[in-house]
Amino acid sequence: MISQSKHSLHQFLNQRYLTILVLLIIVFSAVIVFMRYSAMDDTTDYYMYYDAQVLSEYYQVTDDIIEFDAGRKEYYWGVKRLPKRYQALLEINDDQNNLALDESQIYQLEDKIIYILPYYSIEKAEIFFVLHLFDLKDEAMFYQSWQNAVILLVTLFLLVVIFYSLHTNRQITRQMADFSLWVQSMSHLEYKALQQQKMPESLSFAELVNSAKFLQSSLLTQYELQHKEQALLTREKHFLSSLSHELRTPMAIMAAALTLLNNSDAITATDKSKLVKLNKAHLTMKQLTNTLLQLWRGQQELTQQKQVSHALQNKVFLLDEIVENSVSACEEHFSKRKICFAVRMQGNTSLFGQLELADILITNLLKNACQYSVLGKVKVDISDHTLLIENDLLAVGAAENNTLELEEAGVTYGYGVGLFLAETICQQQQWQLNISSNAQRFTVEVVFHDALAH
């Protein structure tokens, strides 16, 4: 809601620029009036010069000039015939050296403005004086002092308009600069400091004030959401860590029982083959538990975990072997669905990294592809050190009508957990994970580290 004590920037600009427009109109009008009178002054000069040329050719030096109009226009041949009052204005001395010929001069005499043009006639070798007289009340504008005053006044007025415009611009830019610095400072504050952070006192526009309040409120909300999310992640991390620790006890008991069974002479050959599968499943569970524990501890260098009996180390391994084993495990796991795998491998694709994590990653991605494949077809393609897994998507609404009896019904493999685990592993191993999907197909691409590069 816009504060009542603040003016909007829109209103401020409208008022300021309206004022500037009015001031410019006044300046423009004054200049037009001044130019009009100046043009009239130039017109007077033109007609005086025209009169001087025509009359000096028509009249002789000794003639009486008929066009003589006392009070409006006067004409005189030579300095001697020029009245003394006009000679005094021109300050003519005996040699007439200070007389500016062919240039009109403006003087004030009593209540008149007098234009005097000393025109030198080459043909008559004499000066012909042309005088035009105007009432002072009408022509006071044409004094040189008045002209200078008008020019100075208009210039000052224009400077005021320019200064007013610059001041308006400064008011806006200063507040925008303060607002920008305030926004930048907000990004480095903690939650408590953000709550206590005040807006710059220079902000006076409602738009900036409301934006600042909204930004501060949004950041506080974001901090609260992040805090809640972090709390949930921490709780989940502790839960998984505790679960992983708790699983070690029954796994140790299972390992001891399997050891006793392996050493027993009462086990038949058929039972031993089943016992081999149990040992393999137990080893896989143990590796998965240890790996997940280290992943949730957030350690990138897993070899530093001394608490894990089987430390994970970077090594060179074959991608093709992991894919074959994972495909076999998925075929057995999804035996009732009869998943059809289209596998294309180059053979002997050597990679560098942690074998256990690669095994977990590939198995997890293949199980997700099998679970969400409607037609039961999964495509696996290995090109160089890149693995591509592709499956058709489960149609919208088909999940509710799906009546297939999956063997993994008691286990949740979904896009959320499965892909999150894949992203976590790839992030720690610095493998590139690309995920894309459309209405019919879901594709996952993993780019591993080439063994030749290490």
Hey, which bits of 171-305 come out as E strands? none
In angstroms, the Cα distances linking 175 to 163, 171, 239 are 18, 6, 50
pLDDT of residue 130: 93
Task: Please tell me what DSSP assigns to residue 189.
Answer: -
The Cα–Cα gap between 353 and 351 comes to: 7
**pLDDT digits over 298-345, tens only?**
544 444 443 443 445 778 888 899 999 899 988 888 888 888 999 998
What does the pLDDT average to over 64-93? 85
77 φ, ψ (degrees, to nearest 5): -95, 120
The Cα–Cα gap between 91 and 86 comes to: 8
Per-domain boundaries in the chain: 9-159, 249-302, 313-453
The Cα–Cα gap between 74 and 109 comes to: 14
pLDDT of residue 342: 92
Q: 400 by DSSP, 3-state: which? A: helix
**pLDDT digits over 92-108, tens only?**
766 566 788 888 888 88
The Cα–Cα gap between 128 and 111 comes to: 25
Q: Please report how the helices 144-186 and 206-263 are oriented relative to each other, as an axis angle in degrees rounded to 10.
A: 20
Query: Could you tell me which of 366, 362, 378 has the C-alpha nearest to residue 322?
Result: 362
Lowest mean pLDDT among 89-103, 213-227, 406-420: 406-420
Answer whether residue 417 shows pLDDT above 80. no
pLDDT of residue 453: 64
Average pLDDT, the chain: 77
Residue type, 306: K
Which residues have CB under 8 Å from 28's CB, separation 6+? none
Beta-bridge partner residues of 76: 129
Structure tokens at 193: 């400091």
Query: Are 419 and 435 spatial neighbours (Cβ–Cβ below 8 Å)?
Result: yes
What stretch of H or E contains 389?
Answer: strand 386-392
Q: Please report how the helices 206-263 and 9-58 are oriented relative to each other, as an axis angle in degrees rounded to 10.
A: 140
Residue type, 360: I
Q: How confident is the model at residue 113 (pLDDT cuts 50, 70, 90)?
A: confident
- Tokens 């044409």 belong to 142
What is the C-alpha R_g of the chain? Answer: 51
The Cα–Cα gap between 50 and 58 comes to: 12
**pLDDT digits over 127-145, tens only?**
999 998 888 766 545 555 6
The Cα–Cα gap between 283 and 172 comes to: 70
Structure tokens at 247: 């699983």
Answer whether residue 380 shows pLDDT above 90. yes
Query: Are 370 and 391 spatial neighbours (Cβ–Cβ below 8 Å)?
Result: yes
Which residues have CB under 8 Å from 194's CB, separation 6+? 186, 216, 219, 220, 223
> What class is the 313-453 domain?
alpha beta
Looking at the chain, the whole-number percentage of residues with pLDDT higher than 70 is 79
What does the pLDDT average to over 359-376? 88
CA atoms within 13 A on the CB side of 453: 9
Cα dihedral sign, 233-238-244-250: negative
Q: Rounded to two decimals, what is the model's pTM?
A: 0.42
Q: For 83-136, give the DSSP string.
A: -HHHHHHHT--TT-TT--TT--EEEEETTEEEEEEEEEETTTTEEEEEEEEEEH
In angstroms, the Cα distances linking 454 to 49, 315, 433, 445 are 101, 10, 20, 22
Answer whether residue 237 shows pLDDT above 80. no
What does the pLDDT average to over 103-115? 83
What does the pLDDT average to over 271-290? 77
The Cα–Cα gap between 132 and 52 comes to: 11
CA atoms within 13 A on the CB side of 421: 23
